[in-house]
Structure 1
Amino acid sequence: MKINVQNRNVMITGAGAGIGRQLALAYAKHGANVILVDKQEEALRQTVQLIQHAGVEPLWRVVDLSDANAIAACFVWLESTVGHLDILINNAGFGITKSLFDLTIEEWDSVLNTNLRGTFLCAREAAKLMKKAGAGAIVNLASTRALMSEPDTEAYAASKGGIVALTHAMAVSLGPDRIRVNAISPGWIETGDYEQLREIDHRQHPAQRVGKPDDIVRACFYLTDPDNDFVTGTNLVVDGGMTSKMIYEE
């Protein structure tokens, strides 16, 4: 697979751990200038150190994406530091598993403001810079939870469903500016100890395995490659086929 990100400015949110960390390492490895954002300073520092050990010096900033003013300030800093942005990967997000009867308004708002509003605001600010440059690519990390759910995940599901809708809306609005906007909906992506997974965990996927962060990395490389300029407004489901499988309890 050709990786076409050399010398491109790439901002990744939620870069402190999990999929975000793997995205940061992968883009830096292939020659991108990475700008890393996360709410958790210590976790973000660990990602930065891993990249530095590989001989690359990333830019980074601690940002709470539920704070609209902090997002605005981050993009002012970004423009003054690197001048333009080629790629934004909106990866940051979290969920609260709690009965809908007990979920507080504050908890609902915290999830929606970070996952959905934060994605919108980052994408909008990024698009301002991309418009000046004449092109760009935005990838929003949604989830298969936009399509199917477990109990007690209403706030997370709503936020991810909103991201899917936001993606196709922004793709249409930003198309004339040559800014492509796509989403990725990961399924089960194991970011912990992969060896501890059970055989039944793998077998419930038609692909016969649980996903890995590198599966999402490769999807991002595809969607951010400027040669793939005919792909916009899509939601790429990367779930090993799990959402295609009908499951009946015996």
Structure 2
Amino acid sequence: MGTTYSNKTVLITGGAQGIGLGMAQAFAREGAQVIITDCDQEAGQEAIQWLKEQKLKAEFLLCDVSVEAHVVQLMEHVQNDHGKIDVLINNAGIASPERVPLQDLLVSEFDRVLGVNLRGPLLCAKYALPLLEKAEHPAILNISSTRAFMSEPDTFGYSASKGGLEALTHSLAVSLAPQRIRVNAIAPGWIEVGPWEKDSKKEVPSHSKEDKEQHLVGRVGKPEDIAEAALFLCSEKAGFITGQCLVIDGGMTVKMIYHH
């Protein structure tokens, strides 16, 4: 157990499963007061239980970050219980529907993805602002995706929202600089979250040789890979870093693939 984040309040949206839960575990291990939000009650309660089994403390609050009233309520709750936020991690994101051809895409589905992935981080930043201002070294971290820069076919909402989140990151960094709030992003590549899902969705990962070899490091990513970088970027050690996006993808985006 570390103490890097003792007496620090860390709010992680979408923290009940996957990368979010990996970060919750890491920050709790470093002594942070971790608050997980998620729109999945079952996953949230399981996450808290799982952390408790590791002697780690966290609290869970139900919240849909795309709904302004939910976010207002969330921040009021944090204000009353903690009085400040040292680190805000905008991690909540959805990708549904996974893939739909443009002609079949429902605008309502596109809007829903943008609502969670892009409006959510903006709302959280807006309403967390007074709480971040009370912290000594406040930081915001947005979890983007390498899909901000590259796409598979028919992933319009997800790609557009993550591209928007990249731009929102530098916009917030510039805008909140007078308040000394640093704002950065991490763009994960392929991260295997199977073992980090709630019990009813847990999967044992199986990756082919091709899956592994398309990464320069020879493997698919894990939530821990993102969590370690998040610990650094949100700490005072990264005090000279703001407005940046760190790509964590095992080198996949720099590898050119030609089929001969």
Structure 2 counterpart of 1:204 = 214
Structure 2 counterpart of 1:33 = 33
Matching of residues 124-135 of structure 1 within 5 Å: 124-135=126-137
- For the 8 Å contact 1:127–1:179, the answer to whether it is kept is no
Q: What is the SS of the residue equivalent to 2:152?
A: coil
Alpha-carbon displacement from aligned partner over 1:222-248 (angstroms, at most 9, x marks no partner): 101112110000000000111101111
Alpha-carbon displacement from aligned partner over 1:104-129 (angstroms, at most 9, x marks no partner): 11101100001000011112222221
Structure 2 counterpart of 1:225 = 235
Q: Which range is displaced more, 56-65 or 141-150?
A: 56-65
- For the 8 Å contact 1:182–1:234, the answer to whether it is kept is yes
Matching of residues 1-250 of structure 1 within 5 Å: 4-95=4-95, 96=97, 97-192=99-194, 193=203, 195-250=205-260
**Letter aligned with residue 125 of structure 1:** Y
Mapped partners of 2:221, 2:136: distance in 1: 35
Deviation at 1:57, TM superposition (A): 3.5
**Cα RMSD, aligned residues only:** 1.4
**Letter aligned with residue 54 of structure 2:** A
- For the 8 Å contact 1:135–1:177, the answer to whether it is kept is no
Alpha-carbon displacement from aligned partner over 1:77-121 (angstroms, at most 9, x marks no partner): 110111101001111101122112111111011000010000111
Structure 1 counterpart of 2:197 = none
Deviation at 1:194, TM superposition (A): 6.2
TM-score when scaled to structure 2?
A: 0.92
Pair 1:194–1:180, CA change in 2 (3 A): farther
Deviation at 1:23, TM superposition (A): 1.0
Mapped partners of 2:178, 2:137: distance in 1: 10
Please list every run of at least 4 consecutive aligned residues from structure 1 whose deviation after the TM superposition is greater than 4 angstroms.
none
Identity %: 46
Alpha-carbon displacement from aligned partner over 1:34-53 (angstroms, at most 9, x marks no partner): 01100000001010111222
Pair 1:110–1:195, CA change in 2 (3 A): closer
Mapped partners of 2:137, 2:57: distance in 1: 25
**Letter aligned with residue 166 of structure 1:** L
Q: What is the SS of the residue equivalent to 1:101?
A: helix
Deviation at 1:195, TM superposition (A): 4.7
**Letter aligned with residue 9 of structure 1:** T
Q: What is the SS of the residue equivalent to 2:154?
A: coil
Deviation at 1:15, TM superposition (A): 1.1
- For the 8 Å contact 1:134–1:177, the answer to whether it is kept is no
Alpha-carbon displacement from aligned partner over 1:132-170 (angstroms, at most 9, x marks no partner): 335400100000000000001010000000000000010
Mapped partners of 1:143, 1:3: distance in 2: 29
- For the 8 Å contact 1:4–1:226, the answer to whether it is kept is no
Q: What is the SS of the residue equivalent to 1:196?
A: coil
Q: What is the SS of the residue equivalent to 2:100?
A: coil
Alpha-carbon displacement from aligned partner over 1:29-73 (angstroms, at most 9, x marks no partner): 221100110000000101011122233442221011121111111
* Number of corresponding residues: 249
User: Unmatched 5+ residue regions in structure 1?
Assistant: none
Alpha-carbon displacement from aligned partner over 1:4-33 (angstroms, at most 9, x marks no partner): 222210001111111111111111122110
Mapped partners of 2:137, 2:235: distance in 1: 12
- For the 8 Å contact 2:190–2:249, the answer to whether it is kept is yes
TM-score when scaled to structure 1?
A: 0.95
